[in-house]
Amino acid sequence: MWIAYKTIVIKEVLRFSRIWVQTIFPPIITTSLYLLIFGGLMGQRIGDMQGIDYMHYIIPGIILMTVIQNSYANTVSSFFLAKFNHSIEELLVSPVPYWIILLGYISGGVARGFVVGVGVFIAVSFFVDFEVDNLLITVITFLLTAILFSLAGFINAVFAQSFDDITIVPTFILMPMTYLGGMFYSIEILPQFWQDLSKFNPIYYMVDSFRLGFLGVGTSEFWTSMSILLAMIVVLATVAFYLLKKGVNIKT
């Protein structure tokens, strides 16, 4: 089982590494631009946010956004393509337990999130000097976020019937939730109604915890955020495992 798991992870890492021009490089460029425009140019006029200058304030959100998008993109595209070109059958005819298949794909998503996240972190270091306030909180938040969105991408891929289906969720659900989850701002500046509504957005808790780890400032309780993240992971992992075991859209 360990060999099968390692094989899936190596295959996934090689897959996104081979097409690094599409998978690793663009998010680094995009986030550097975000930082330059929003942080560097507009940030000077915005001033501080929660007592932190705006350039520094948006860094955790920008890094986590790339982690979310890339973890999701990796599993959704890889698993959908495996369905599309029928190479998923290589796994189905092999003695690989379903939970290993799921774990392998999720690990692939986490790996891409990590590689891109570190890439963005290095790129950001060229623009600003900063230190991570609490590495443990930062790493735990990164890991749970990457696992959660890899699972979400996997479920999307199971249901997807066409290439359109794998872009709808990231474009119309993931992107708005990310932007409205306090990536560029603290929800404290919003009117009360929107503050309350933001608390239903799970990405708010991820960004807030990540920011707590990076900068030492946050608006929510860390353990509340972690509990919400863990609960969502358990739910999505159960759903993903059930879909895989039943062979939904994989076996007829």
Judged by CB under 8 A, which of 62, 91, 160, 237 binds other proteins? 91
Please tell me whether residue 119 adopts helix, strand or coil conformation. Answer: helix
Which neighbouring-strand residues pair with 52? 49
Residue 217 binding other proteins, by CB under 8 A: no
* CA dist., res. 220 & res. 170, Å (int): 25
Residue 90 binding other proteins, by CB under 8 A: yes
Which neighbouring-strand residues pair with 211? none
- Exposed/middle/buried for residue 99 (C-beta within 10 Å: 0-12, 13-18, 19+): middle
* CA dist., res. 203 & res. 226, Å (int): 12
Comparing CB distances to other proteins, the nearer of 48 and 251 is 251
Number of residues binding to other proteins, judged by CB under 8 A: 28
Residue 125 binding other proteins, by CB under 8 A: no
Judged by CB under 8 A, which of 13, 42, 92, 143 binds other proteins? 92
Binding mask 7-46 vs other proteins (x if CB under 8 A, - otherwise)?
Answer: xx-xx--xx--x----------------------------
- Cα angle at 15 between 19 and 122, to 5 degrees? 60
Give contact residues for other proteins (rule: CB under 8 A). 1, 3-4, 6-8, 10-11, 14-15, 18, 81-82, 85-87, 89-97, 247, 251-252
